[in-house]
Amino acid sequence: MKERLEALKNEALAQLQEVDSPENLNDLRVKYLGKKGALTEILRGMGSLSAEERPVIGQVGNEVRAAIESVIEVKQNAFQKAETEKRLQAEKVDVTLPGRPMSQGGVHPLNKVIQDIEEVFIGMGYNISEGPEVETDYFNFEALNLPKDHPARDMQDTFYITEELLMRTQTSPVQMRTMQSMDGKSPVKIICPGKVYRRDDDDATHSFQFNQIEGLVIGENIRMSDLKGTLQQFVQEMFGANTQIRLRPSFFPFTEPSAEVDVTCVKCGGSGCRMCKQTGWLEILGCGMVHPKVLEAGGYDSEKFTGFAFGMGVERIAILKYGIDDIRHFYNSDMAFLKQFSRI
């Protein structure tokens, strides 16, 4: 039996020297050291040996097992090292190569227009006021001289949540909240940017959600000429020093008198083109002197205080400023469209 063990060891070591893959190595381990392997098969015959022979053969068997396991371990380590080297070569990174530039985003064109408008009015001494988008009927309509049966409510078809709660149709409620917080004593000079909601069908010029910026000035001896001068300075800073404005009589329940404001066409400069329908003018916003009833609702004495207000759609300003032909481009998340504004 001792000779058989020695022969087995020599055979196993010889084959292990020729092994060329981890799979073949595992096969040889099972062949010689497995539960049904050659070494186990020989050692099962120890039952026929005498008591004196068993320890000797057992020791030889252990030595054979240890010799084979030792070679297997060396081979396994060699294969693992080779595999590691191969993977490192495949994953090698040249740290001297220049880095890959990261794509840089930009400000959304609507946010950029809002920032530009805010900068213009902050430069004129205005503060920025904000308020809730879910508003009460009182602040959105009634306090602004629009009682529940007023026909002008039809101009602002509304998303109602309950009979008294709605998605605001304008940022005017922020003006009223600000006025009431002043206790009818302090002057007001604010702009109110934010999202508003109306039940419009989406098309090239309308959206159920859009951005609006309204302005409000209240004080003593505020006149229509102050409003016109403010708007003239605003349009020149937004569209260029040669831009002029034109006021046309209009109607808004919360102002009296009221006016629509046109600017000289940003494309033709007022000479007439397809964009302005050959008129030389483009409508841009609405404005007027604050109605006495609105002043009273805000806590101000309409005999002592006067004021003016104006409101504009941010999308309308952006369309004119950047020559965009469809309001839906702002909301479609089209990267090809948005990348045009990454450097503005």
CA dihedral 147, 149, 153, 155 (to 10 degrees): -140
Partnered with residue 175 across adjacent β-strands are none
Are the CB atoms for 180 and 274 separated by under 8 Å?
Answer: no
141 to 64, 154, 308: CA distances (angstroms): 98, 12, 18
Instruction: Show Cβ contacts of residue 26 under 8 Å, excluding neighbours closer than 6 positions.
Output: none
* Residue 315, marked binder: no
* Segment holding 296, helix H or strand E: helix 292-297
Across the strands, what pairs with 247?
261
| CB-based contacts of 66, cutoff 8 Å, min separation 6 | none
Instruction: Measure the N-to-C terminal CA separation of the chain; round to a whole number of Å.
Output: 91
Which residue in this structure is represented by tokens 């297997």? 72
Three-state SS at 68: helix
**Which residues belong to the annotated binding site for Mg(2+)?**
256
Annotated binding site: 256
